[in-house]
Structure 1
Amino acid sequence: MSLPAETQILSTEEYLRWEASQPEKHEYVAGEVFAMGGASRRHVTISGNLFAALDDALSGSSCRVYMADMKIEVATKSRFFYPDVFVTCHPDDHREELVMHHPVLVAEVLSPSTAAYDRGDKFIAYRSLPSLMEYLLIDPDHQQVELFRKGLDGLWVLHDFAPGDSVQLASVEAAISWERLYRNVD
């Protein structure tokens, strides 16, 4: 997360109106607006690889995959985020144009400046979404993949994956090979 773009506190409605006219993306956290920084080549490559793999795996299903420029609202926490990749299977989201509300899977590709936030406050906010079943964190620099999966008891369990593994995504009934996820990342 970067420094606030504005020090003024905005309502969600003001944020949505203001951001629609901005050339850059901004996340919204309880009234504060934060400019989104650029991403590294590895970050963009992994995001694209994950999007393509999920898009292939979900072809013909009721689920849809989005990346980078689509927002998720976490209304109970007064937040709007731009995940790197996410999947929604909810029919209400299929009618939305700018903001989704019911992701089953959210993926963030980590960067040194956002890793702690993605693992901490952002994950806390995402966990308040009743629809969310899995939260995937991908580290492009250390080739590490962490998947947090919500159990039937509501507890989140960490599943680590290593080179050569297949990343099993129960929320969308898909498996993505390590090689496909890290293709063209050197």
Structure 2
Amino acid sequence: MSAQAKPYITPEEYLAAERAADFKSLYYEGEVFAMSGASRAHNLLVSNLIISLGNRIGDKCSVFPSDMRVHVAANGLYTYPDVSVVCGKEEYLEEAYLDTLLNPVVLAEVLSESTGKNDRGSKFMLYKSIASLQHYVLVDSQRVSIAVYSRAAAGSWLFQEYQGLEAVVPLPALSLELPLAEVYRRLELPV
């Protein structure tokens, strides 16, 4: 008996279904992947990150939660980062919908046991082809630690990790520093 091939879904079919759906799904290379719910820690980290960024950015940039879809035109990925930040003019796949962002400056993912390997590896490989992206922020949900990939000269990326509640993450593309004490507020996690 042979395994049946999965049907190829076009980006247009995916977007039409996604806009009508009651749940979110990722899309990559003709396949659709359902997204699962999140833990209390994950949700608090996302909320704290959005509040902390929003309070520091003011009106110069927009901070979006995971309901803002991001499209990576270079490789066809459609996904929902936990947090997206765009500065300047927002660019969308279709102006009629304003639901698929093309030019984030910062993307953040909260790592869990089930998503951490993918967020650190293949997802970063796909994200880094976004020309506007300057920082990819990985927030650990198991301990007080934030890792940041920052775009450097000649297309290379620098990696830095920040640990402990007294640490502060510099995000030069946003002209701000992000205190870990704010991101991990109301969570008791090891360092």
TM-score by length of structure 1 reads: 0.92
How many Å separate the matches in 2 of 1:124 and 1:89? 22
Residue in structure 2 matching 1:179, options 177, 181, 184: 181
How many Å separate the matches in 1 of 2:171 and 2:177? 6
User: Which residue of 2 is the match for residue 123 of structure 1?
Assistant: 124
User: Which residue of 2 is the match for residue 3 of structure 1?
Assistant: none
User: Which residue of 2 is the match for residue 23 of structure 1?
Assistant: 22
Structure 1: 4+ residue segments shifted above 4 A: none
How many Å separate the matches in 1 of 2:104 and 2:115? 21
Give the number of aligned pairs: 179
How many Å separate the matches in 1 of 2:37 and 2:51? 21
How many Å separate the matches in 1 of 2:137 and 2:161? 10
**Unaligned segments of structure 1, at least 5 residues:** 1-6
How many Å separate the matches in 1 of 2:98 and 2:131? 21
How many Å separate the matches in 1 of 2:90 and 2:58? 19
Which residue identity is paired with 1:130? A
Quick check: 1:71–1:80 contact (8 Å CA) kept in 2? yes
How many Å separate the matches in 1 of 2:146 and 2:46? 13
User: Which residue of 1 is the match for residue 77 of structure 2?
Assistant: 79
User: Which residue of 2 is the match for residue 170 of structure 1?
Assistant: 172
1:99-155 deviations in whole A, cap 9, x for unaligned? Answer: 000011000000111111111111011011110011000111122210000112211
User: Which residue of 1 is the match for residue 153 of structure 2?
Assistant: 152
How many Å separate the matches in 2 of 1:129 and 1:142? 29
SS of 2:154's equivalent in the other structure is coil
1:31-180 correspondence to structure 2 within 5 Å: 31-61=30-60, 63-93=61-91, 97-163=98-164, 164-180=166-182
Rg (Cα) greater in structure:
2
Which residue identity is paired with 2:147? E
TM-score by length of structure 2 reads: 0.90
**Unaligned segments of structure 2, at least 5 residues:** 1-5
Q: CA RMSD in A?
A: 1.3
Give the superposition deviation at 1:76: 1.4
How many Å separate the matches in 2 of 1:75 and 1:11? 14
Change (3 A) 1:33 1:183: same
Quick check: 1:90–1:102 contact (8 Å CA) kept in 2? no
SS of 1:54's equivalent in the other structure is helix
Which residue identity is paired with 2:169? V
Give the percent of matched residue pairs that are identical in Structure 1 and Structure 2.
34
How many Å separate the matches in 2 of 1:150 and 1:165? 21
Give the superposition deviation at 1:58: 1.1
